[in-house]
Amino acid sequence: MKWEYLLILLLTSVIGYLIYLVLAPFFVPVFWAIILVILFHPYYEWLTRKFGGRASLASFAACSSIALFLILPLAILGAALANELLNLYAWAEKYLAEISTRAHQSPVFFYHWAEKYLGDYIDVNALNLRGILASVVRDVTGYIGLGLREFVKSFAELVVNLFLAFFSMFFLFKDGGKLFNLVKDLIPVSQRHKEEIAERNKGVIYATIYGGVLVGAIQAILGGMAFWFLGIPAALVLTFVMFFATFLPSVGASLVWGPVAAYLLITGEYVWGIGLVVWGIFIIGLIDNVLRPWFVSGRTNLHPLLLFFSILGAVNAFGIIGIIAGPLILSICQAMIEFYREYVTEKNTWAG
């Protein structure tokens, strides 16, 4: 009997691994589909009532309207960002080539500059400034070009993943309840603990999406508006970077608007520099200090430091979905530790 159980366990493990190999390429779009279905499930239920209980029609209408709501702005943003990155690449290539040309035409100027500022630390006469500058030009333009190619590749992958995500959403809206109950039945804990895990994860998803992604997007848009108004080059790229900076604890969006304000002050644009500081502290910062706690309050009890490292590690491991996957994994881990502690306490109580 023991060998039969071991054989069944071995076969189940092998089949489980094979299923993982089959489904692993689709993990990202299915994960996003699950997140979107959880977020928009009240909308789907409303549509189901409007369509007289016809689940397929309600699911199709929900997927179509959500796709239009999400994909159209993303397509416009992606096209604008790609155009700005191309302009930035052209500007950097031209600017660095100009520096390299001046180095060839006027090497005395560069040697004089290096002697003045670096002479106390290095032997300037032994430097090959022309070679160094040419190498810098090649490396920087090559790095920007590589970034552009990766951006185009990522955008193509995003389009495919979005199609698969919305295709999955159609069935998850219809049959998600049955699948959810099936997964719950497979979890080897009590019914009370199953419900608690489900509620915790739902709270973490809402807190991450609304308290993280939505608040970060609002902050980035406000920062981007300021950059555009001030005529800052590559304003859209800075806005994109600011969105991800909002996930960093303590510093957040100031990691982007702070250096821009410092640049304005250093270049003598005191009014605009001070204005950007005021805008950053009292408008962008206010959004972070008011809206984020309002969305997160009561939904998750994860420590900010653990939350930060869970997002950072998950993004490194899984890509962009790590923004949500990290807190979810941490929440499940925390719940299981608490359940185990509760189990040990109850066991000791009964033993006593």
The CA radius of gyration of the chain, in Å to the nearest whole number, is 27
Q: Are 33 and 170 a contacting pair, CB within 8 Å?
A: no
Lowest mean pLDDT among 74-78, 163-167, 270-274: 74-78
Looking at residue 60, its pLDDT comes to 92
Q: Are 66 and 36 a contacting pair, CB within 8 Å?
A: yes
Looking at residue 226, its pLDDT comes to 93
For the chain, give every domain's residue range.
26-177, 189-352
Residue 283's nearest CA partner among 256, 253, 263 is 253
Q: Answer yes or no: is pLDDT of 59 > 80.
A: yes
Residue 96's nearest CA partner among 138, 146, 149, 144 is 138
Which position has the higher pLDDT, 351 or 166? 166
Give the confidence band of 225 by pLDDT, cuts at 50, 70, 90.
very high
Which position has the higher pLDDT, 41 or 152? 41
Q: Answer yes or no: is pLDDT of 5 > 60.
A: yes
Most confident residue range from 56-65, 160-169, 328-337: 56-65
Q: Are 86 and 148 a contacting pair, CB within 8 Å?
A: yes
- Residue 2 to residues 7, 10, 163, Cα–Cα distance (Å): 9, 12, 47
Q: Please return the burial class of 173, using the count of CB atoms within 10 Å of its CB with bins 0-12, 13-18 and 19+.
A: buried
Mean pLDDT across the stretch 27-48?
88
- pLDDT, tens only, 278-326: 999 999 988 877 777 776 655 667 777 777 788 888 878 877 778 788 8
- Residue 13 to residues 3, 16, 17, 158, Cα–Cα distance (Å): 15, 5, 6, 32
CA dist 119 and 229 (Å) reads: 42
Q: Angle formed by the axes of helices 215-230 and 270-279, to 10°?
A: 170
CA dist 88 and 140 (Å) reads: 12
Which position has the higher pLDDT, 267 or 144? 267
CA dist 304 and 302 (Å) reads: 6
What letter would DSSP give residue 280? I
Largest Cα span, the chain: 89
Looking at residue 207, its pLDDT comes to 77
Mean pLDDT across the stretch 230-256?
84
Reported pTM: 0.66
At 214, list the tokens: 């939505």
Mean pLDDT across the stretch 124-151?
59
Give the confidence band of 140 by pLDDT, cuts at 50, 70, 90.
low
Mean pLDDT across the stretch 81-96?
70
CA dist 196 and 54 (Å) reads: 31
- Residue 68 to residues 1, 39, 54, Cα–Cα distance (Å): 57, 16, 21
Number of Cβ atoms within 10 Å of the Cβ of 234: 16
Angle at 104 (CA atoms; ends 102, 108), nearest 5 degrees: 80
CA dist 68 and 51 (Å) reads: 20
